[in-house]
């Protein structure tokens, strides 16, 4: 997961005799796209076609579907440009430049002196100022990113696209064949892809940088690259931090997800339309549950944890060897351990004195915070509300995506009931929220009475400013006013007792790591663009070898093996067309590339920079990759370039799209 400013040139030269040029790296970077709702993609044509995963597109597919047209279930293909469907609230980013601003941040922090809270505030103010200055000067979206645990700060500048239209998606059944059981596993047989087209000023964008399609794909053991946006990893966390995750954060989070899934499945069972409305959230939660369960298993694996402890021990012993280094950095671990004790003490209150789960309630709560924060000077606001962040924030707050109030109601009711159970009826948050009424009644009234399902009501609230919030009788706003003080209080305690201390201590550990181990490394993932190299390669699995790739034969085997029952059933269209398919066509393949959630939709390219595959998953052994990467068994799972073209032509009658992808005319 190397940053593009520090590509692993020496390793690539030594291991593979390949040294990518600056032009090669720039081209790949500028062809890479971030899906701001949590994924990656790439330009694949000079006329703005963007490839990503079906499951990255899923949220948008749902938002443009309704009771009459179910693009999630049935798939979608725009035969002409006029048929392309605009996404409701999708923002794509392309990383156009980056700049190291560490010195400026560090200087501001140093001036603030030794008080952790003042240092944290200074850091926040400086970052907000850098972002705003950069955005004003360049017109590009500008995000300051903390890398190497905060021992480096960079401003990343993005070209931003918000007119993104759907061109093609297969049926979810085909994209997600095998469903939750097969998710995060391999061998796999999924056509998890979707195609958008990016527009600017009403015209398809002329994408100078795009990836040429290579129908052959990559050979076994071939060197390949992934360019994408891994969300987050915790490989550099201290043992004290991992212990909190293992003993508190993971078990609580897993319980929350299981509970919410139960509620959603019951909602979906009410009818076909409810099922459709809940599909995307269920997918997301099942995906999160499986990922977190794998990560949690990793944390509870005594061998893995012993390795983490031994690594930290070895690092600290190296530091001790130098009086200078020890003096500067040795106390950082104890500082974090102390902060973690605070985090444990306040975790349940911070987590359950806030209501998460309902998207609409989340919008209401954020609106109220936004209006309050906007009154303050930029540098004093809560994170997420700085000037440079407001445009994408409003884009999502004012999204015209459909709102399903009964669905929002069951989600919010479950979150509130859970808080009651976790905190007890006498907890001040519960008292303030319920005002003596049953949780179900509070939530029913809120969802029945609110006008905020309509984006224009949200805009009106923002326009009315803080007086408008205070005067509002919209029950969701009333609820937000009741809960917001608790959220702010938790944030403030967290800043003072945990984040302030840990941010400073982590920066020191980051610098200590550079001092001891040098700069030949990459930082933890931060949902910023990264380059990963690896090879196509099977792996030892359950007593035998997992193959480097799978074929359409395997898809038919697995469907037939399970009697063609969900989630192993094939769409009717596929069954009708299967006689026309070349069953030996490679379908999915695995590589040793190091990825994590957020990389979904990333292109896989060969030495020529040609697209040979599309990342869509990691195997079960990759889940522990949040904490430690193992080349032995950690694998990226990808859709093969040939399978996409074969399916477009022979299953979906989408020859023109296949032609355009392959470089013919659209």
**Residues 210-249, mask of contacts with a copy of itself (x by CB under 8 A):** ----------x-----------------------------
- For residue 273, give every residue at least 6 positions away whose Cβ sits within 8 Å of its Cβ, in sequence order, or none: 67
Q: Is 280 in the site for a copy of itself (CB under 8 A)?
A: no
Structure tokens that stand for 244 in this block: 């909190």
Q: How far is 58 from 190, CA to CA, in rounded Å?
A: 15
Q: Is 434 in the site for a copy of itself (CB under 8 A)?
A: no
Q: How far is 81 from 204, CA to CA, in rounded Å?
A: 9
Residue from 45, 60, 490, 550 binding a copy of itself (CB under 8 A): 550
Nearer CB in complex with a copy of itself: 475/548: 548
Taking CB under 8 A as the binding criterion, the range among 350-358, 486-494, 547-555, 655-663 that sits at the site for a copy of itself is 547-555
- For residue 520, give every residue at least 6 positions away whose Cβ sits within 8 Å of its Cβ, in sequence order, or none: 8, 10
- Closest distance to a copy of itself from the beta carbon of 595 (Å): 17
Nearer CB in complex with a copy of itself: 170/294: 294
Residue from 549, 626, 640, 650 binding a copy of itself (CB under 8 A): 549
Q: Is 584 in the site for a copy of itself (CB under 8 A)?
A: yes
CA angle 401, 406, 411 (to 5 degrees): 90
- Closest distance to a copy of itself from the beta carbon of 564 (Å): 10
Residue from 551, 591, 592, 641 binding a copy of itself (CB under 8 A): 551
Number of residues that bind a copy of itself (CB under 8 A): 33
Residue from 117, 185, 322, 417 binding a copy of itself (CB under 8 A): 185
Residue numbers 338-357 binding a copy of itself by CB under 8 A: none
Name the strands in the sheet holding 586-591, side by side, starting at the edge strand that comes first in the sequence. 530-535, 223-228, 603-605, 611-618, 636-640, 586-591, 549-551
Query: 612 and 604 in contact (C-beta within 8 Å)?
Result: yes
- Closest distance to a copy of itself from the beta carbon of 190 (Å): 12
- Closest distance to a copy of itself from the beta carbon of 421 (Å): 31
Residue from 442, 556, 570, 647 binding a copy of itself (CB under 8 A): 556
Q: Is 197 in the site for a copy of itself (CB under 8 A)?
A: no
- Closest distance to a copy of itself from the beta carbon of 171 (Å): 21
Q: Where are the alpha helices (DSSP H) in 69-171?
A: 71-74, 102-111, 116-138
Nearer CB in complex with a copy of itself: 200/301: 301
Burial of 339 by CB count in 10 Å (0-12 exposed, 13-18 middle, 19+ buried)? buried
- For residue 441, give every residue at least 6 positions away whose Cβ sits within 8 Å of its Cβ, in sequence order, or none: none
Q: Is 426 in the site for a copy of itself (CB under 8 A)?
A: no
Structure tokens that stand for 203 in this block: 């015209």
Nearer CB in complex with a copy of itself: 430/638: 638
Q: Is 490 in the site for a copy of itself (CB under 8 A)?
A: no
Nearer CB in complex with a copy of itself: 44/643: 643
Query: 429 and 403 in contact (C-beta within 8 Å)?
Result: no
Q: How far is 652 from 620, CA to CA, in rounded Å?
A: 31
Nearer CB in complex with a copy of itself: 430/559: 559
Give 212's DSSP letter: P
Structure tokens that stand for 138 in this block: 């360049």
Q: Is 290 in the site for a copy of itself (CB under 8 A)?
A: yes
Nearer CB in complex with a copy of itself: 179/284: 179
- Closest distance to a copy of itself from the beta carbon of 136 (Å): 48
H or E element, residue 614: strand 611-618
Query: 238 and 305 in contact (C-beta within 8 Å)?
Result: no
Q: Phi/psi of residue 636, each to 5°?
A: -80, 135
Structure tokens that stand for 493 in this block: 């305690």
Please measure the distance between the N-terminal and C-terminal CA atoms of the chain and give it in whole angstroms.
35
Nearer CB in complex with a copy of itself: 230/554: 554
- Closest distance to a copy of itself from the beta carbon of 288 (Å): 15
Q: Phi/psi of residue 19, each to 5°?
A: -120, 105
- Closest distance to a copy of itself from the beta carbon of 550 (Å): 6
Of 169, 170, 167, 168, nearest to 197 by C-alpha is 167
Q: Phi/psi of residue 649, each to 5°?
A: -75, -45
- Closest distance to a copy of itself from the beta carbon of 544 (Å): 4
3-state class of 320 per DSSP?
helix
Taking CB under 8 A as the binding criterion, the range among 120-128, 175-183, 334-342, 351-359 that sits at the site for a copy of itself is 175-183
Residue from 46, 547, 656, 666 binding a copy of itself (CB under 8 A): 547
Q: How far is 195 from 198, CA to CA, in rounded Å?
A: 10
Residue from 201, 544, 579, 665 binding a copy of itself (CB under 8 A): 544
Q: Is 661 in the site for a copy of itself (CB under 8 A)?
A: no
Q: How far is 599 from 1, CA to CA, in rounded Å?
A: 10
Nearer CB in complex with a copy of itself: 181/655: 181
CA separation, residue 240 to residues 183, 298, 343 (Å): 31, 16, 11
Residue from 246, 308, 316, 558 binding a copy of itself (CB under 8 A): 558
Nearer CB in complex with a copy of itself: 88/633: 633
Query: Contact positions toward a copy of itself, by CB under 8 A?
Result: 178, 181-182, 184-185, 187, 220, 290, 294, 541-545, 547-551, 553-554, 556-558, 560-563, 568, 583-584, 619-620
């Amino acid at each position: 997961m190397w940053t593009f400013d520090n590509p692993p040139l020496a390793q690539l030269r030594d291991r593979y005799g390949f040294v990518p040029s600056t032009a090669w790296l720039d081209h790949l970077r500028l062809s890479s796209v971030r899906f701001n709702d949590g994924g990656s993609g790439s330009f694949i044509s000079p006329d703005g076609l963007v490839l990503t995963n079906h499951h990255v597109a899923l949220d948008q597919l749902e938002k443009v579907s309704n009771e009459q047209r179910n693009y999630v279930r049935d798939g979608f293909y725009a035969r002409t440009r006029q048929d392309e469907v605009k996404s409701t609230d999708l923002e794509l980013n392309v990383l156009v430049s980056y700049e190291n601003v560490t010195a400026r941040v560090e200087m501001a922090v140093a001036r603030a002196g030794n008080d952790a809270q003042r240092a944290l505030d200074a850091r926040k103010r400086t970052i907000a100022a850098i972002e705003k200055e950069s955005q004003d000067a360049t017109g590009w979206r500008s995000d300051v990113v903390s890398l190497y645990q905060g021992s480096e700060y960079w401003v990343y500048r993005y070209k931003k696209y918000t007119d993104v239209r759907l061109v093609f998606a297969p049926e979810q059944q085909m994209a997600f064949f095998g469903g939750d059981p097969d998710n995060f596993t391999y061998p796999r047989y999924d056509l998890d892809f979707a195609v958008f087209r990016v527009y600017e000023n009403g015209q398809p964008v002329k994408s100078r940088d795009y990836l040429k399609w290579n129908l052959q794909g990559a050979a076994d053991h071939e060197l390949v690259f992934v360019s994408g946006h891994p969300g987050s990893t915790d490989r550099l966390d201290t043992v004290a931090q991992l212990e909190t995750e293992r003993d508190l954060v993971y078990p609580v989070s897993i319980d929350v997800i299981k509970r919410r899934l139960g509620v959603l499945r019951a909602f979906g069972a009410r009818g076909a339309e409810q099922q459709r409305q809940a599909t995307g959230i269920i997918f997301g939660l099942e995906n999160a549950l499986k990922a977190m369960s794998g990560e949690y298993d990793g944390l509870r694996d005594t061998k893995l944890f012993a390795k983490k402890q031994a690594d930290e021990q070895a690092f600290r012993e190296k530091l001790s060897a130098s009086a200078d280094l020890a003096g500067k950095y040795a106390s950082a671990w104890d500082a974090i351990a102390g902060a973690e004790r605070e985090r444990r003490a306040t975790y349940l209150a911070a987590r359950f004195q806030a209501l998460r789960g309902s998207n609409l309630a989340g919008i209401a709560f954020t609106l109220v915070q936004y209006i309050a924060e906007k009154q303050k000077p930029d540098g004093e606001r809560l994170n997420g509300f700085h000037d440079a962040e407001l445009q994408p924030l409003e884009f999502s707050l004012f999204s015209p995506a459909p709102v399903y109030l009964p669905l929002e109601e069951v989600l919010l009711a479950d979150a509130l009931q859970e808080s009651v159970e976790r905190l007890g009826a006498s907890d001040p948050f519960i008292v303030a929220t319920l005002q003596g009424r049953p949780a179900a009644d509070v939530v029913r009234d809120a969802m029945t009475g609110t006008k905020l399902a309509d984006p224009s009501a949200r805009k009106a609230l923002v326009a009315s400013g803080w007086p408008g919030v205070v005067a509002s009788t919209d029950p969701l706003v009333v609820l937000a006013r009741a809960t917001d003080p608790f959220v702010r209080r938790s944030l403030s305690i967290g800043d003072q007792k945990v984040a302030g201390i840990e941010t400073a201590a982590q920066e020191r550990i980051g610098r200590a790591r550079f001092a001891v181990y040098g700069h030949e490394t990459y930082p933890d993932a931060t949902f910023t663009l990264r380059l990963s190299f690896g090879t196509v390669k099977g792996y030892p699995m359950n007593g035998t070898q997992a193959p480097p790739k799978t074929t359409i034969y395997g898809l038919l085997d697995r469907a037939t093996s399970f009697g063609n029952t969900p989630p192993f059933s094939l769409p009717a269209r596929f069954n009708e067309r299967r006689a026309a398919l070349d069953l030996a066509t490679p379908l999915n393949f695995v590589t040793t590339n190091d990825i994590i959630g957020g990389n979904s939709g990333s292109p896989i390219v060969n030495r020529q920079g040609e697209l040979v595959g599309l990342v869509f998953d990691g195997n079960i052994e990759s889940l522990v990759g949040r904490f430690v990467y193992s080349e032995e068994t950690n694998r990226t799972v990808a859709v093969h370039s040939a399978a996409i073209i074969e399916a477009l032509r022979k299953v979906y009658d989408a020859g023109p799209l296949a032609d355009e992808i392959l470089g013919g005319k659209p």
